[in-house]
Each structure stands twice: as C-alpha cells, then as structure tokens.
C-alpha cells in the first residue's frame, strides 16, 4: 500500500470514529447528561488533536527521510551508453556533490515550509542551510541558520549558531564569525563541546589574520582538554602558526 493511501486510510478511520460518536450522541441526546456530553466532546477534541499530530508527524518524517535519501545518495560518474548511445546516470546517484545538493535543497525547503515549528522542519531547515553554504549562497544560509537558532531550542539551536559562524566565514565576514564563536565559548552549555567550539574559533581567528588569538584558542584546547579528540589537531594548528 502506498504511503499516501495509508495516510488517507488513517484519516478516514478518524473521520468514521468521530461520525459514529456523533450519531450516538444524536440518538441518545435526551438521556445523556450535559456533564457526560461535555466530557465526550472534550475527549473527541483531544483524540482528534492527538490523531492529527500523529498523522502530521508521520508525513513530515517521511518527507524529511526522502530529502535525506537524496542528500546522502552516491556520487558516481555516468555510465557509458551501449553501441554509441549517450551516457546515462545510474538511478539513485548524482554526477557531482553540487548536483546532489541542488536536488536535495528543494526537498528540505519543502519540509520546513509545510511543517514549520516541527522537529522535522527544524532539521530540514538546518540541512537546507548547510546545503546553501556548500553551494556558495552564504547569505541565504545565514538567514535559515538564524531562524533555527532563534526558534528551535536545544541542540538544534546550538548547532545552528555554529552553522551561522560557518556561513559568515564563507561570506568573508570574519569578525562576525569570531564574535559569535566567542559568545559560545563564554557561555558553554551541554549542547556543544567547548573544545570543538574553540577549534572553530581558532580557525576563524586565523582566517581573520589574527594569528596570536588563533594560537591562544588552539593552546586552550591543548591545555584545558588534553584528552580531547581535537588535541592532536590543535597542536598541529598551533605549531603551523
């Protein structure tokens, strides 16, 4: 059974349930107490809301899964045609990273446009922003990252703030990226590893031409997080400066 057909079936089941309940109320309206009727109406409202949320969540998750499938599809060269025929692209693959991103981007955009404020919507918006950065559209990406950082909360908001810095660095807005990363380091939380943010801050300083500050950031990783997975890389970055 197709996914759309399952959705329609679920919606029809809900509609039939509500209709049956309504018919029961009409048939016994002279004997049902107002209090019981009120409870039934509330129960119907709660049930309908929960059912709609379940259907909505399944739809948004399915759309997000479809977009993720495209974003993570293999990149392969076209296959040569037989007997002088034109080359063809194997099904489910893309000839380049850029082609794959360009195919995935509208799918991610469709998810957060259809389901704003949902968990799937925020993930899709974040992934769309990442794709925009990779496609060289940093200003558009920055707007999407900012929206997620202000609305999503939790780890998605924290990741979006890191994404904003990445977009700013791509756009050459080094001072803005440094300011944002410094704020994340100054206000550490449970959602982002401080050593990882320090590494990003060091790279931002380096791109901004602030060698001394970059070295200090890498040194902090070495001194404060000696067992970090970034420690070896931090030493290499520090020594290269």
Report how far residue 164's alpha carbon sits from residue 139's, in angstroms, rounded to the nearest whole number: 10
As a whole number, mean pLDDT of residues 66-91 equals 82
Please give the pLDDT value at position 89.
81
User: Concatenated DSSP letters for 143-196?
Assistant: HHHHHHHHHT-HHHHHHHHHHHHHHHHHTT-HHHHHHHHHHHHHS--SSS-HHH
Residue 3 lies in a domain: no
Domain total for the chain?
1
Report how far residue 20's alpha carbon sits from residue 14's, in angstroms, rounded to the nearest whole number: 10
What is the end-to-end Cα distance of the chain in Å, rounded? Answer: 60
Residue 87 lies in a domain: no
Rg (CA), the chain: 26
Residue 236 lies in a domain: yes
As a whole number, mean pLDDT of residues 172-190 equals 87
Report how far residue 74's alpha carbon sits from residue 91's, in angstroms, rounded to the nearest whole number: 10
Residue 137 lies in a domain: no
Residue 58 lies in a domain: no
As a whole number, mean pLDDT of residues 84-101 equals 85
Domain region containing 177:
173-241
Higher-confidence position of 58 and 96: 96
Residue 191 lies in a domain: yes
As a whole number, mean pLDDT of residues 6-28 equals 46
Residue 241 lies in a domain: yes
As a whole number, mean pLDDT of residues 147-163 equals 89
Residue 238 lies in a domain: yes
| CATH number where 229 lies | 1.25.40.10
Share above pLDDT 70 across residues of the chain, in percent, rounded to a whole number = 73
Residue among 177, 71, 170 at smallest CA distance from 128? 71
């Amino acid at each position: 059974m197709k996914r759309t057909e399952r959705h329609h079936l679920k919606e029809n089941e809900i509609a039939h349930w509500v209709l049956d309940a309504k018919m029961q109320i009409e048939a016994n309206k002279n004997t049902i107490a107002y209090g019981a009727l009120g409870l039934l109406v509330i129960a119907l409202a709660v049930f309908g809301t929960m059912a709609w949320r379940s259907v909505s969540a399944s739809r948004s998750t399915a759309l997000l899964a479809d977009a993720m499938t495209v974003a993570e599809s293999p990149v392969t060269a076209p296959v040569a045609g037989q007997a002088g025929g034109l080359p063809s692209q194997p099904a489910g693959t893309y000839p380049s990273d850029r082609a794959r991103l360009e195919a995935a981007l509208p799918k991610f955009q469709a998810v957060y446009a259809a389901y704003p404020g949902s968990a799937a919507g925020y993930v899709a918006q974040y992934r769309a922003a990442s794709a925009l950065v990779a496609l060289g559209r940093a200003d558009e990406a920055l707007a999407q990252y900012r929206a997620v950082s202000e609305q999503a909360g939790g780890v998605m908001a924290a990741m979006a703030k890191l994404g904003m810095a990445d977009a700013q660095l791509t756009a050459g807005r080094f001072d803005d990226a440094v300011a944002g990363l410094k704020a994340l380091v100054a206000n550490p939380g449970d959602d982002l590893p401080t050593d990882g943010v320090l590494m990003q801050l060091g790279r931002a300083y380096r791109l901004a031409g602030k060698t001394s500050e970059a070295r200090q950031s890498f040194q902090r990783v070495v001194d404060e997080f000696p067992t970090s997975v970034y420690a070896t890389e931090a030493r290499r970055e520090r020594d290269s400066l």
